Amino acid sequence: MMLPLVNYGVKCMSMGFLVEEENPVIWRGLMVMSALQKLLRSVNWGELDILVVDMPPGTGDTQLSIVQNIPIDGVLLVTTPQQVAQADVVRGANMYRNLEVPILGLVQNMSYYKCSNCSHNHHLFGPDSGSKLAQKLDAELVADIPILPELSTCSDDGCPIVIKDPQSDGSQVFLRLGSKVVEKLKM
């Protein structure tokens, strides 16, 4: 049994922990499925309140295998404002609906940039794309996450923004997102 890494009380396991740092993971089909099984069944997770599986966008073997192998209470769709990213999310939403997996909501990342001088929100990729997509998907837009330079710094330092600066606007976005997900899961 493998043990997950634990930081700030959060257990984490990743394929990135199991391969050399700069080596690509060039796997298909059965190799991906085997790796997923290991991450799900060969890690001593202990007791969990919630298991979050972060997956790349798409409608392939990985997503289908996850849905078929573990009970899913819901998916949170994550996009950016660009049309190509949103097209992937639409396909993913349709796949999950066909598989009868509840969609908890939509998160739009890199929604806008808040100017540090004037506090105006600049929608670099156009305004309202997240709410328009949520409406198209008949899903709630649960978070509009701005471009946050401090988020990159916190991630590189290994310290979550909600720990480093819990009162910041960026932290508040993530705290509200977490609360909404917990509420939707009725925990």
Quick one: pLDDT band at residue 19, thresholds 50, 70, 90? confident
Q: Considering only residues 116 and 134, tell me which one the structure prediction assigns the higher pLDDT.
A: 134
Which long-range CB contacts under 8 A does 6-15 form with residues at least 24 apart?
7/158, 8/160, 8/163, 11/45, 11/46, 11/48, 13/39, 13/43, 15/39
Q: Considering only residues 56 and 154, tell me which one the structure prediction assigns the higher pLDDT.
A: 154
Strands 121-122 and 10-12: unpaired
Quick one: pLDDT band at residue 17, thresholds 50, 70, 90? confident
Q: Convert the pLDDT of each residue in 94-109 to its tens digit.
A: 999 999 999 999 999 9
How far apart, in Å, are the Cα atoms of 106 and each of 7, 41, 89, 131?
Answer: 27, 28, 9, 9
Quick one: pLDDT band at residue 187, thresholds 50, 70, 90? low
Q: Is the pLDDT of residue 185 over 70?
A: yes
Output the pLDDT for position 12.
94
**pLDDT > 70: what percent of the chain?**
99
Provide mean pLDDT across the span 27-45.
84
DSSP letter string, 109-150: SS--EE-TTT-PEE-TT-TTHHHHHHHHHT--EEEEPPP-HH
Quick one: pLDDT band at residue 121, thresholds 50, 70, 90? confident
Output the pLDDT for position 45.
94
Give the 3-state secondary structure of residue 62.
helix
pTM higher than 0.75, yes or no? yes
